[in-house]
Amino acid sequence: MVCSGLRVEFSLLMNIYLETFGCQMNRLDSELIAELLRVGGHTMTDSAAADVVLYNTCSVRDHAEQKVYSRIGRDAKAKAAGRKLIVGVVGCMAQRAKADLRRRCPCVDLICSPGQLHRLVGLIEAAAAGKAAKLHIASDPGRAEPPDQEAQRLLEEVDRTRNPLAAPSASQAFVRVMRGCNKFCSYCIVPFVRGAEHSRPPQPIYEEVKKLVEAGRSEITLIGQTVNSYCYRQGDSAVRFGDLLEFLSPIADLRRLRFVTSHPVDFDRPILEAMRDLPNVCPYIHVPPQSGSDAMLAAMNRKYTRGEYDTLIDAAREIVPDVVFAGDFIVGFPGETEEDHLASAELIRRTSYKNSFVFKYSPRPGTQAAKKLADDVPEAVKKHRNNELLAVQREVGLAHHRSYVGRSVEVLVTGPSRRCDKQPAPATADSMQLMGRSRGDHIVIFDGPRSLTDQYITIKITDANDLTLFGEMEELQ
């Protein structure tokens, strides 16, 4: 059987459970993995019915890794009690913690780094057939080693030949424009586990978006760890991210073009102008500052100052109508003083983010910060600062969302609201609580028939809280 241009043959058909941790890169990888497995004749299932459990893992904070160790601990007990199970660790932790996994987790049968996903099906097959070595491993080269060009070619094939109907939503899909990261923020593990930055050529990106849109996925989100650093060079010319938006925007029936996550340094004027001029590019920018203090930004190796970040936000406000911002912050980075912390709180107020993610600093082995700086902010202080930033964010989030009351927004309906997911639909199928997203990425809640799922509709906003808009249907578009 041939799958995605890669040869896959199976002697055994298995029930496979795949659990995903981490960011949008892992979510897309999991979609592609599940499809490779399905094409191979396997069945995706829940954990109770599985012959194979796969964890697509994240290493960005220790907490993310501990969750996976606890899943593996549970599987080890089940295996010890006689359950026949293949356990696989895929993704960033497979690259970062393979030595620990080998030592601590004898129940793990296979380990597959993020740059080796095209080999995963073969690893599962080998593990199922009980071949040779007990542990089956496919690893990426380290940052100091030459890149594995054949692996990069095969991985590109997996993206290029993906089945557009496999995207979990009928109206939305992710498209990768770049891999890896070269920024080396001092706290961050990503450049070590995802390898060097590599931008895909524009043409296969175009073909992929077109194929997905033709399959009904009219909202496309371009993804990369620093998506706006995209730069494809050929000879003397370079296609940068603003050019890529211009290239993709005219695709017929592409109603919304989004992108995450942006790095402040590479957010140039052409991107802002593309956002202003191209009607389907959504006015939403997730541009994490990490801190509002120059001392912290320098220690984090973020390569911009607070003043430069403010200038970017002001330019975006001036150029892109109705622009909406989201941010990430790290609290308790080594040496963070109360004054540094207050600068972050002040930045949240100044920028008026729609939402912010706040993380307590977690030292990652091998990073510059972990090697050189003592993790000297006590856990209780980190917790307190985390809560303080979240409280400030709640305030500005409320003001931001309230400013939409009385306005009408276009919403792509994603389905029943989370409340309806938890409880059975309250009334008839003609009226239930639905949820959708505005062009600015606001969560919008309203009542309507379930059949509106995956459609665009205009909602008049009547109320708001710090994270959500509430409204009433105006018309179907």
Among ligand F3S, ligand SAH, ligand SF4, none, partner that 221 touches (CB below 5 to 8 angstroms by kind): none
All residues at 6 or more sequence positions from 68 whose CB lies less than 8 Å from its CB, including other chains: 21, 55, 57, 89, 93
Shortest Cβ 451–ligand F3S spacing (Å): 35
All residues at 6 or more sequence positions from 432 whose CB lies less than 8 Å from its CB, including other chains: 416, 420, 425, 426, 447, 448, 449, 450
- Out of 64, 151, 177, 190, the residue judged to bind ligand SF4 by CB under 6 A: 190
| Residue 60 engages ligand F3S in binding (rule: CB under 6 A) | yes
| Residue 359 engages ligand SAH in binding (rule: CB under 6 A) | yes
Among ligand SF4, ligand F3S, ligand SAH, none, partner that 362 touches (CB below 5 to 8 angstroms by kind): ligand SAH
Q: Is 54 exposed, middle or buried (0-12, 13-18, 19+ CB in 10 A)?
A: buried
Q: Are 317 and 345 in contact (CB under 8 A)?
A: no
Shortest Cβ 188–ligand F3S spacing (Å): 9
- Out of 97, 154, 185, 190, the residue judged to bind ligand F3S by CB under 6 A: 190
Shortest Cβ 368–ligand SAH spacing (Å): 11
Of residues 359 and 404, the one with the C-beta less far from ligand F3S:
359
Among ligand F3S, ligand SF4, ligand SAH, none, partner that 54 touches (CB below 5 to 8 angstroms by kind): none
Among ligand F3S, ligand SAH, ligand SF4, none, partner that 22 touches (CB below 5 to 8 angstroms by kind): ligand F3S
| Residue 191 engages ligand SF4 in binding (rule: CB under 6 A) | yes
Among ligand SF4, ligand SAH, ligand F3S, none, partner that 361 touches (CB below 5 to 8 angstroms by kind): ligand SAH
| Residue 120 engages ligand F3S in binding (rule: CB under 6 A) | no
| Residue 18 engages ligand F3S in binding (rule: CB under 6 A) | no
- Out of 288, 292, 416, 471, the residue judged to bind ligand SAH by CB under 6 A: 288
Shortest Cβ 51–ligand F3S spacing (Å): 25
Among ligand F3S, ligand SAH, ligand SF4, none, partner that 359 touches (CB below 5 to 8 angstroms by kind): ligand SAH
Of residues 190 and 313, the one with the C-beta less far from ligand F3S:
190
CA distance 450 to 414: 10
Shortest Cβ 286–ligand F3S spacing (Å): 13
Shortest Cβ 24–ligand F3S spacing (Å): 8
Shortest Cβ 187–ligand SF4 spacing (Å): 7
| Region from 309-317, 356-364, 411-419, 444-452 binding ligand SAH, contact rule CB under 6 A | 356-364
| Residue 26 engages ligand F3S in binding (rule: CB under 6 A) | yes
**Other beta carbons less than 10 A from residue 103's beta carbon:** 9
Of residues 65 and 219, the one with the C-beta less far from ligand SF4:
65
- Out of 69, 187, 304, 446, the residue judged to bind ligand SAH by CB under 6 A: 187
Among ligand SAH, ligand F3S, ligand SF4, none, partner that 10 touches (CB below 5 to 8 angstroms by kind): none
- Give the angle subtended at the CA of 446 by the CAs of 444 and 452, to the nearest 5°: 95
| Residue 23 engages ligand F3S in binding (rule: CB under 6 A) | yes
| Residue 136 engages ligand SAH in binding (rule: CB under 6 A) | no
Binding site for ligand SF4 (CB under 6 A): 181, 183-185, 188, 190-191, 225-226, 263
Binding site for ligand SAH (CB under 6 A): 60-61, 187-188, 190, 225-226, 261, 263, 288, 290, 328, 330, 359, 361-362, 364
